[in-house]
Structure 1
Amino acid sequence: MTSSQPLDLTVDELLTTTRSVRKRLDLERPVPREIITECLELALQAPTGSNTQGWQFVFVDDPEKKKAIADIYRTNATPYLDAEKPTYGDSRDERTPLVIDSAKYLNDHLHEVPAMMIPCLEGRPDGASASQSAGYWGSLLPAAWSFMLALRSRGLGSAWTTLHLVGDGEKQAAEILGIPFDKYAQGGLFPIAYTKGTDFKKAKRLPAEQLSHWNTW
């Protein structure tokens, strides 16, 4: 298996600089399948409920299928990105225009990324209780985040998107990719590409003390 030379990052640097990458995805540099598999091998060490490992990961690098998936995404993303966004009265408002601009760029160029990944989990959470839903997605999403961390550690990037799942989008994507819709639910759509440069910084976040509660809300 071909290895990609890991970046010289501490654990804290990896955790605090793994960003949703859109404009800085290198759309022209190919990504070897071996590197993607290497990142998936790391992601599969993530926890999964009762060790069921009911996950499956669909990778797409066929140009026609990438375009078809991107078209589904674009149908849902365009009206969402054009809609008025809420304001918060804090530092989040400063970043909103930049985030929207970046998301619109990805919306326009999604079909050009070297590869896509759709993580799937056996079963469907339709109509599930809060407990069942939390347990269900908790068996897939840690692996998806670990995959993003593994990409970052090797000079690649991604963005966690879910807009292709809106309406009939998930079913349409399942038909294109042969995913058994009645047996597996999709957890997102992740573009995969090398990044233009690897110098990502910490994001501006609300302070921990503003978001934490001890013993009572």
Structure 2
Amino acid sequence: MIESLGLSATEVLSTTRSVRRRMDLTRPVPPEVVEACLDLATQAPTGRNRQHWEFVVVTDPGLRKALAAYCLNGMTRPTQPVYFDDSDRWDPVARSKLLDGAQDFFARLHEVPVMVLPCVRMVRTPNPSVVQQAGVWGSILPAAWSFALAAREHGLGTVWLPGHLHHEREVAELLGIDYDNVMQTVLLPVAYTRGTTFHRGPRVPAGTVTHWNRWGNHTTAHPD
């Protein structure tokens, strides 16, 4: 029988963290637990009302080592620019702690027992429109996040990593993915956590990033 933590929906949604420091890299993750999480992931809504998702589950040590190398290289020597910077919203102490934890995590990324790559079937087109992009990403990211939430309920931790996408073609060749018709999205390392109690993360208040009816209006507009 597959055990679960019995968390409420609110607990799962508010305590699913990017787990770096507390991954138990010595404890195997049974395939049936991964399959249970994937079963829940495939219940997610899609952006085009069709299921175009595919999931590549990597447990082979050699392949995990190669994936970790591509991811680390993409994070440290990106081939494409990053289009946003929210560093002004970070507490300096929290940011320093995160970077230290991330450095340690990436040094051992290849030891994570399972890596999951959610992919989406599509025909690659040059310079896709915003509408096209929204349809594609909306058809896979809800499922990817549902997998992360299901993992939390089963005592597993995940991290949202896009670094390997700087080498998407090479990763496709490594794993036998049809590059022209299947797009990789995110890399989710999966491992049991040391301890299962997590708390709400440090976030800016929702009211400061919520706009009512017009951009810049942070005050709830109550009808008369």
Q: After TM superposition, is the score higher than 0.5?
A: yes
Look up the match of 1:193. Answer: 191
In 1, are the aligned partners of 2:47 and 2:137 still within 8 Å (CA)? no
**Sequence identity percentage:** 46
Look up the match of 1:47. Answer: 45
Distance 1:213 1:4 in 2: 42
Distance 1:55 1:87 in 2: 33
**What is the CA distance between 1:106 and its match in structure 2?**
2.1
Distance 2:110 2:179 in 1: 23
**What is the CA distance between 1:93 and its match in structure 2?**
3.4
Alpha-carbon spacing, 1:69–1:91, altered in 2? closer, same or farther (3 Å): closer
Could you list the runs of 4 or more consecutive aligned residues of structure 1 that deviate by over 4 angstroms after TM superposition?
none
Look up the match of 2:15. Answer: 17
Give structure 2 stretches of 5+ with no counterpart: 79-84, 216-224
2:160 partner letter: W
2:118 partner letter: P
Provide, for residues 30-80 of structure 1, a one-character-per-residue CA deviation record: whole Å limited to 9, x for no partner: 001111001100110000133321110000000111111111112122357
In 2, are the aligned partners of 1:114 and 1:192 still within 8 Å (CA)? yes
- State the superposition RMSD in angstroms: 1.6
Look up the match of 1:212. Answer: 210
> Given the alignment, which residue of 175, 178, 203 partners 2:176?
178
Alignment of 1:89-168 (within 5 A): 90-123=89-122, 124=124, 126-166=126-166
In 2, are the aligned partners of 1:91 and 1:206 still within 8 Å (CA)? no
Larger radius of gyration: 2
**What is the CA distance between 1:23 and its match in structure 2?**
1.4
- TM-score, with length taken from structure 1: 0.91
Give structure 1 stretches of 5+ with no counterpart: none
Alpha-carbon spacing, 1:129–1:86, altered in 2? closer, same or farther (3 Å): closer
Distance 2:10 2:165 in 1: 32
Distance 1:60 1:9 in 2: 27
DSSP-derived class of the 1:161 partner: coil
- TM-score, with length taken from structure 2: 0.88
DSSP-derived class of the 2:204 partner: coil
State how many pairs are aligned: 208
DSSP-derived class of the 2:24 partner: coil
1:201 partner letter: H
